[in-house]
Amino acid sequence: MLAEEERVLLSAHSIQVIDVPIVSIENHNGQMHSLQLTDGERVKREGGFVASDSKQSAPFAEKLGCQMTKNAGIETDSLGRTSVSGVFACGDTLGGPAQLVLAAAAGSQAGMGVIHELVQEAFQEKTSL
Ligand SMILES: Cc1cc2nc3c(=O)[nH]c(=O)nc-3n(C[C@H](O)[C@H](O)[C@H](O)COP(=O)(O)OP(=O)(O)OC[C@H]3O[C@@H](n4cnc5c(N)ncnc54)[C@H](O)[C@@H]3O)c2cc1C
């Protein structure tokens, strides 16, 4: 749902907003040419984007009590640490853009986070001897 200020902005750029649900996307040989709306109107369009919501498909982070983002991702710091001690997260589970390069980078960061924590743990164990 668009906020009023977003509607004003779109209108200022001569972008029409139609709130009527789409019944079907009509095509010729697989090439989209129009949208059939529920009110009977047919709107000519040659392309479009689909806006989708993301939801977390793996339930374990929430079950462990990890803080989640508003995009249903797992909240982490720059080293992949979640709000639960000893639990790290990276990749698509963070709920950001789903891209291989970002997932790999977050995995590398989380790896550094794990090493950092293990080294600190070993250091503290030796200190308490
Ligand atoms: C159709 C499609 C096309 C894409 N095209 C591109 C593209 O062109 N370029 C690009 O950069 N990105 C693309 N992506 C996104 C990219 O694939 C992901 O961002 C990336 O794979 C995320 O890596 P990941 O390691 O976080 O998750 P994944 O690669 O999804 O790996 C997660 C792994 O965890 C396993 N798993 C899940 N649940 C459990 C569980 N409960 N226990 C144990 N294991 C579990 C899964 O089986 C999987 O092997 C595409 C994604 C899709 C779906």
Q: pLDDT of 81-128, one tens digit each?
A: 999 999 999 999 999 899 999 999 999 999 999 999 999 999 988 887
**CA separation for the pair 78, 90 (Å, rounded):** 10
**Predicted pLDDT of residue 65:** 97
| Prediction pTM value | 0.75
Cβ of 108 less than 6 Å from ligand 1: no
Name residue 27's beta-bridge partners.
Answer: 32
Ligand 1 pocket mutation pick from 90, 92, 101 by most atoms within 8 angstroms of CB? 92
Surface-to-core class of residue 103, CB atoms within 10 Å of its CB (0-12 exposed, 13-18 middle, 19+ buried): middle
**Predicted pLDDT of residue 70:** 87
One-letter amino acid of 125: E
Tell me the C-alpha to C-alpha distance, in Å, between residue 23 and each of 11, 37, 39, 45: 25, 5, 9, 14
Cβ of 2 less than 6 Å from ligand 1: no
In contact, 61 and 74? CB cutoff 8 Å: yes
Cα(119) to centroid(ligand 1), Å:
30
Burial per residue of 26-42, b for 16 or more beta-carbon CB atoms within 10 angstroms, e otherwise: eeeeeeeebbebeeeee
